[in-house]
Amino acid sequence: MRRTLAALTGATLAALIAPLPALPAPAEAASGPASLTPAADRRVSAADPVSALTRRFKAHRGVRLAENTKIIGEGKKYRTIFTRRSGVLEFGGKGLVASDLTTRFTVPTKGEDGLAGVFAPSRTISVKGTAYTSGGIYADSMPEGKKWLRTPGDTGSLVSAVQQIISTVEPGTLRATLARTAARRPGGTWDGTRTTVHSGTITLGELFGVSPSVRAMLGTKPTGRSATLPVSWKIYLGSDLLVRRVVSSYTESTRGLNSTELTYVNDTRYTGWGTKVTIKAPPADQVAEFDELTVGADDARGAQDPVRGFFEN
């Protein structure tokens, strides 16, 4: 339990001090092991929101995303919107292929703690298995004439501990989550369409089994009590069965690490399904690699894997 929770906490740190990782390959994003019973499959196919999603997987078409994350401390003493993300996602024939997202933090950025750089706004373009980040903690360390930091990788996700843990643009994740629907009710109007809100609970272990983004975030399969960590969720489906809003929450207890308990509430809105979009990598002459940054060698190594560096110290 403690190891997986440490990974979640470490992912929070990673989100603060490193650029977003690259997106998974399209085939991976559109697939993944699902553990649904035939009855669960029938419950999902009756509404068929998964087919509604996959019909939107067309080249140079996408959807706009707006998201905020609240972190609530023990006893609900501390409640704040910790991050805001907005931008656009681009699909290909098999799923998500690129994204262009800007992240802003709503935390103190002045004072003796020197947090201005850590929590500076950043923009990340993820395309063809590579992420390019502008701004953020490394803005002052970029070499002259360079604006973007390149982070290559063959795995990655749209989520971290301070972002939406239920990625409903992954067909397998959407299918498995909706299969655990416990209640339905009218959800109001979002993106100009009346919605029905489905709600329920899915465990961290179940999400790991179906979601490429969660597997990338955690790295290793959760076991024991960690595997049964409940993630509560609400998914708002429009009359066209496309997702318009996702709200999820979970509580991680880090007692023994820093003796605290934090609840993460992620609220994601999708608008403009079918938006025309073509996301391209930044100009090559504006891109820098990690070894070009004007920081110490140890800092550069830790930046590439901040979670491991934190917990091995």
**Whether pLDDT at 240 is above 60:** yes
Instruction: Name the token pair of 262.
Output: 């934090």
SS3 28: helix
Strands 287-288 and 148-152: parallel
Where residue 118 falls among pLDDT bands split at 50, 70, 90? low
What does the alpha-carbon distance between residue 152 and residue 127 come to, in Å, rounded to a whole number?
10
Instruction: Give this prediction's pTM.
Output: 0.78
What does the alpha-carbon distance between residue 204 and residue 167 come to, in Å, rounded to a whole number?
13
- Per-residue pLDDT reduced to its tens digit, 149-174: 998 753 334 555 567 899 999 999 99
Instruction: Check residue 218 and give its pLDDT.
Output: 84
- Per-residue pLDDT reduced to its tens digit, 267-291: 999 999 999 999 999 999 999 998 8
Q: How far is CA 234 from CA 137, 178, 215, 267, 294, in A?
A: 33, 9, 21, 9, 44
Mean pLDDT of the chain: 77
SS3 162: coil
The answer to whether the Cα torsion of 28, 33, 36, 41 is positive or negative is: positive
Where residue 47 falls among pLDDT bands split at 50, 70, 90? low
**Whether pLDDT at 304 is above 50:** no
CA 85 to chain centre: 10
Instruction: Name the token pair of 248.
Output: 């999820």
Where residue 106 falls among pLDDT bands split at 50, 70, 90? confident
Instruction: Check residue 158 and give its pLDDT.
Output: 53
Where residue 294 falls among pLDDT bands split at 50, 70, 90? confident
Tell me which architecture the domain covering 2-312 has in CATH. Clam (2.50)
**Side-by-side strand order, sheet with 261-276:** 181-190, 193-203, 230-238, 243-253, 261-276, 61-72, 79-92, 95-105, 122-127, 130-135, 148-152, 287-288
